[in-house]
């Protein structure tokens, strides 16, 4: 904490207008003057803070409602719109709340009462519509089943996959509206169709990207200047506008998802611990009636408990390490990091030689051999990305990290491998891009990477996962079955495949505009393939990991892939001149010349405004505005952090108050019992007869009955100890 006065000071009760106007709270306000209230831990802490401020000469009010009066209004609105039936209070409090609402309705006029009722109805309708829309999300039941059987980590992968499907659908709308539709509608060549087949076309053209696909809207060379050829509305400008819109929209969505996930992880990560007792006693949903749903809920709670126990066990083992053990561990980690660097260097060398061999052996009479040579770089990249992450996973197990840290370390190394291998392949590919219509050639390479990635996923499921499961189930005692073992769904590797596939889509977007459509269909097929793999071939992992921090890492890796795609596209468009034989930018020195032509055709004020916005003089005000905005957000972040810490301290102090009041109540019951025993003994002595069962025992039973009326959880006992 930056300010010590926020640690334990200022624990005051939240007072709303509703509580002040209630007739029920009027009697409880007298408790502020009682002796028991002055003895509460929160009151003592408040007085200590008050004296501390007086000594400093600065008395600062810390009442949340005084600082933020809108809190009372928000709390009152939430309480007034919430149905009385769903209030988490006892029946007596619900009756009091109902009477209070009736009283408030009678005190206001008819017009105000009608507006309040309409506001309540609108909010309730909005809540119901939101719940109904959440039920309409695709694959929600499948995700619930996967979460119950395999935990939240596997579910996080499928949620991430669904998010990528939504993102690519949005990109398809942008590409279709800015590039594909204007080209089809304003086609100057009437006999140009979307698909044109010729006599030498074959099925292999679908995998290579040649033949009829090369003459289709899939690749860059299909698009040319059409009858839509205005100065500020033409095919090149729309093509560039569509590409930039896709990249900017992707950046905004990915950054927003990453920031929201990071904020959620920061609030509920290391700073917030859920007690085991809460999961055990309060984790069950008593509204469940379906036995299958009950089994799923039970599995989910069991997986959560396994996760917490695993983390607690690792923390205890880490706390018992000595200085020598830490030194040996760090030395081992250094050696393993060096081994990872050596493996990465070897992978890059393989990609270089595969790309060189593929570029050198383009001509050949054998069609199958030609296809294999063209697919040699994707095959090498796929094999490297398939085997090395498994090696990284075994290396991280020797580094003695927690299960979540092991997953994150494997993710970081593997995503560096995938993005770096793709970057090296693009670098080697651009060194040989001196052909005519090189944009089409580059688009074909990205298309082959996307197609082969899907083929690898399909073959891995139906030719590796299913035979492995059949072998383990049919011949469990064989040495091959014992060697392979039961399959687990490896979350890091599957997430990396998604990030790699989406990065390929962003990199090849300009040269293959139909890649978002292909990616959408591929992701939907991958969802069902992975669903079959998880539910049919895999078993739940014995060690669980927390999905909150890993989900943030998923989107951060996706952000790295997007940044790599933007850098690659920007450098290519700036360095290489558009080809003079195909594409919409024929005859232009650079791709961005179409914007200069449009700006020159605008009127004088618009032209000067745009030139000022693109000049260096506009950069300084933008930077200053960004500094002001970031400063305000940072101030709000610090204020919210202090408020969160204060509310946590208030929760702790309220728990201390409850313990104190329970202790005082127990002592009061003991004193009452002793007083009743003494009075019964004195009355029996005066009558000249020893006390019978109607004396202390009856008194104790009566007193226990009174205690049960006050506290239904108390059980009658025959000794002086409180129940």
pLDDT digits (tens, 9 = 90+) for 388-428: 888 888 888 888 887 777 877 887 888 888 888 888 888 88
Check residue 393 and give its pLDDT. Answer: 85
Q: At what angle do helices 491-507 and 403-430 cross, to 10 degrees?
A: 30
> Token pair 């002796």 is at which residue?
35
- The rounded distance, in Å, linking the Cα atoms of 537 and 41 is 57
Check residue 40 and give its pLDDT. Answer: 74
For Cα atoms 337, 339, 345, give the angle at the middle one, nearest 5 degrees: 105
How many angstroms separate the Cα of 509 from the Cα of each of 240, 431, 439, 503?
11, 20, 11, 10
How many angstroms separate the Cα of 431 from the Cα of each of 220, 356, 373?
20, 10, 18
More confident residue, 331 or 50: 331
Where is 135: in which H helix or E strand? helix 110-135
Where is 554: in which H helix or E strand? helix 547-575
- Residues 6+ away with beta carbon under 8 Å from 315: none
Check residue 169 and give its pLDDT. Answer: 94
Check residue 215 and give its pLDDT. Answer: 81
β-bridge mates for residue 487, sequence order: 538
- What mean pLDDT value characterizes the chain? 76
Helical ranges in 136-234 per DSSP H: 140-150, 152-175, 181-185, 204-208
For the cut 80, the answer to whether the pLDDT of residue 542 exceeds it is no
Longest dimension (CA), the chain: 126
Q: Are 574 and 590 in contact (CB under 8 A)?
A: yes
Q: How many CB atoms lie within 10 A of CB 647?
A: 12
pLDDT tens track for 179-223: 888 888 876 555 556 677 776 777 788 888 888 888 888 888 888
Is residue 35 packed enough to be buried (19+ CB in 10 Å), middle (13-18) or exposed (0-12)?
Answer: exposed
pLDDT classification of 162: cutoffs 50, 70, 90: very high
Q: How many CB atoms lie within 10 A of CB 265?
A: 18
How many angstroms separate the Cα of 515 from the Cα of each of 171, 172, 519?
10, 9, 6
- The rounded distance, in Å, linking the Cα atoms of 421 and 109 is 72
pLDDT tens track for 608-657: 888 888 777 888 888 999 899 999 989 988 898 888 888 888 888 888 88
- Residues 6+ away with beta carbon under 8 Å from 532: 461
Q: At what angle do helices 235-268 and 593-600 cross, to 10 degrees?
A: 110
CB-hemisphere CA count at 13 Å for 384? 29
More confident residue, 500 or 102: 500
> Helix, strand, coil % (nearest 5) of the chain?
75, 0, 25
3 state DSSP class of 207: helix
For the cut 50, the answer to whether the pLDDT of residue 27 exceeds it is no
Q: Are 501 and 520 in contact (CB under 8 A)?
A: no
For the cut 80, the answer to whether the pLDDT of residue 511 exceeds it is yes
For the cut 90, the answer to whether the pLDDT of residue 522 exceeds it is yes
Q: Are 97 and 89 in contact (CB under 8 A)?
A: yes
pLDDT classification of 706: cutoffs 50, 70, 90: very low
- Region of 546 please: left (phi>0), alpha (psi -120 to 50) or beta: beta
- The rounded distance, in Å, linking the Cα atoms of 44 and 25 is 23
Q: How many CB atoms lie within 10 A of CB 37?
A: 14
* First CA to last CA distance, the chain: 41
pLDDT classification of 504: cutoffs 50, 70, 90: very high
Check residue 3 and give its pLDDT. Answer: 41
Q: Phi/psi at 502 (nearest 5 deg)?
A: -70, -35
Closest by CA to 62, choosing from 127, 13, 123, 122, is 13
Q: Are 157 and 558 in contact (CB under 8 A)?
A: no
Check residue 331 and give its pLDDT. Answer: 92
665: tokens are 């109540």
Check residue 710 and give its pLDDT. Answer: 42
How many angstroms separate the Cα of 247 from the Cα of each of 242, 243, 496, 561, 632?
9, 6, 20, 12, 28
Burial 222-255 (b: 16+ CB within 10 A, else e): bbbbbebeeeeebbbbbbbebbeebbeebeebbe
CB-hemisphere CA count at 13 Å for 519? 33
pLDDT tens track for 335-352: 998 999 999 889 888 888
Check residue 650 and give its pLDDT. Answer: 85
| Lowest pLDDT segment from 53-62, 276-285, 412-421 | 53-62
- Residues 6+ away with beta carbon under 8 Å from 458: 529
Check residue 171 and give its pLDDT. Answer: 93
Check residue 106 and give its pLDDT. Answer: 57
Q: How many CB atoms lie within 10 A of CB 188?
A: 12
- The rounded distance, in Å, linking the Cα atoms of 468 and 101 is 65
Is residue 305 packed enough to be buried (19+ CB in 10 Å), middle (13-18) or exposed (0-12)?
Answer: middle
Hey, what's the torsion of the CAs at 14, 20, 23, 27, to 10 degrees?
Answer: 60
289: tokens are 């009636």
């Amino acid at each position: 904490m930056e300010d010590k006065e926020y640690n334990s000071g200022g624990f005051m009760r939240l007072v709303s207008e509703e509580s002040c106007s209630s007739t029920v709270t009027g009697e409880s306000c007298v408790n502020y003057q009682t002796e028991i209230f002055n003895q509460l831990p929160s009151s003592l802490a408040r007085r200590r803070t008050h004296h501390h401020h007086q000594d400093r000469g600065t008395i600062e009010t810390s009442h949340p409602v005084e600082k933020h009066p809108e809190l009372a209004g928000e709390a009152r609105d939430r309480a007034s719109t919430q149905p009385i039936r769903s209030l988490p209070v006892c029946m007596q409090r619900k009756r009091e709340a109902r009477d209070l609402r009736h009283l408030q309705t009678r005190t206001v006029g008819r017009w105000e009462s009608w507006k309040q009722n309409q506001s309540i109805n609108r909010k309730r309708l909005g809540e119901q519509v939101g719940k109904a829309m959440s039920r309409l999300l695709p694959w929600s039941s499948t995700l619930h089943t996967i979460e119950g059987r395999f935990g939240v980590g596997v579910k996080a992968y499928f949620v991430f996959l669904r998010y990528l499907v939504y993102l690519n659908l949005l990109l398809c709308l942008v590409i279709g509206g800015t590039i594909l539709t204007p080209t089809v509608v304003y086609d100057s060549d009437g006999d140009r169709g979307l698909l044109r087949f010729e006599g030498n076309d074959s099925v292999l053209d679908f995998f290579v990207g040649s033949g009829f696909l090369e003459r289709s809207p899939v690749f860059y060379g299909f698009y040319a200047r059409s009858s839509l050829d205005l100065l500020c509305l033409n095919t090149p400008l729309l093509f560039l506008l569509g590409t930039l819109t896709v990249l900017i929209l992707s950046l905004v969505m990915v950054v927003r998802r990453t920031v929201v996930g990071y904020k959620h992880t920061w609030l509920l990560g290391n700073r917030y611990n859920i007690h085991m007792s809460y999961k055990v006693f309060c984790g069950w949903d008593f509204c469940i009636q379906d036995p299958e749903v009950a089994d799923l809920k039970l599995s989910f709670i069991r997986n959560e408990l396994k996760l917490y126990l695993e983390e607690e066990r690792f923390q205890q083992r880490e706390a018992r390490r000595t200085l020598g053990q830490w030194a040996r561990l760090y030395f081992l980690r250094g050696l393993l990091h060096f081994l990872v660097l050596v493996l990465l260097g070897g992978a890059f060398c393989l990609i270089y030689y595969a790309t060189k061999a593929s570029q050198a052996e383009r001509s050949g009479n054998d069609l199958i051999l030609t296809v294999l040579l063209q697919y040699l770089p994707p095959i090498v990249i796929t094999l490297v990305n398939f085997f090395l992450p498994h090696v990284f996973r075994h290396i991280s197990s020797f580094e003695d990290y927690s299960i979540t840290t092991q997953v994150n370390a494997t993710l970081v190394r593997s995503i560096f491998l995938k993005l770096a291998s793709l970057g090296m392949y693009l670098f080697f590919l651009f060194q040989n891009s001196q052909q005519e219509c090189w944009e089409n050639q580059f688009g074909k390479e990205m298309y082959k990477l996307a197609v082969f990635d899907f083929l690898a996923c399909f073959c891995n499921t139906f030719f590796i996962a299913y035979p492995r499961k059949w072998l383990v189930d049919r011949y469990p005692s064989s040495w091959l079955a014992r060697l392979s073992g039961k399959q687990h769904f490896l979350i890091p590797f599957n997430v990396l495949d998604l990030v790699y596939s989406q990065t390929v889509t962003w990199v090849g977007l300009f040269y293959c505009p139909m890649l978002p459509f292909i990616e959408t269909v591929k992701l939907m097929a991958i969802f069902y393939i992975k669903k079959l793999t998880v539910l049919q071939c895999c078993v739940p992992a014995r060690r669980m990991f927390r999905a909150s921090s890993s989900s943030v890492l998923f989107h951060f890796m996706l952000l790295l892939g997007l940044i790599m795609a933007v850098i690659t596209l920007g450098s290519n468009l700036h360095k290489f001149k558009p080809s003079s034989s195909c594409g919409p930018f024929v005859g232009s020195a650079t791709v961005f010349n179409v914007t200069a032509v449009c700006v020159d055709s605008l009127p004088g004020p618009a032209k000067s405004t745009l030139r000022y916005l693109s000049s260096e003089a506009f950069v300084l005000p933008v930077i200053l505005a960004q500094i002001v905005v970031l400063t305000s957000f940072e101030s709000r972040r610090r204020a919210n952090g202090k408020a969160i810490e204060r509310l946590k301290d208030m929760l702790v102090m309220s728990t201390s108050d409850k313990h104190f009041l329970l202790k005082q109540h127990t002592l009061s019951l003991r004193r009452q019992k002793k007083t009743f025993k003494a009075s019964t003994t004195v009355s029996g002595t005066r009558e000249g007869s020893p006390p019978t069962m109607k004396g202390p025992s009856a008194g104790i039973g009566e007193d226990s009955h009174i205690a049960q009326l006050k506290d239904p959880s108390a059980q009658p006992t025959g000794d002086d100890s409180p129940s």
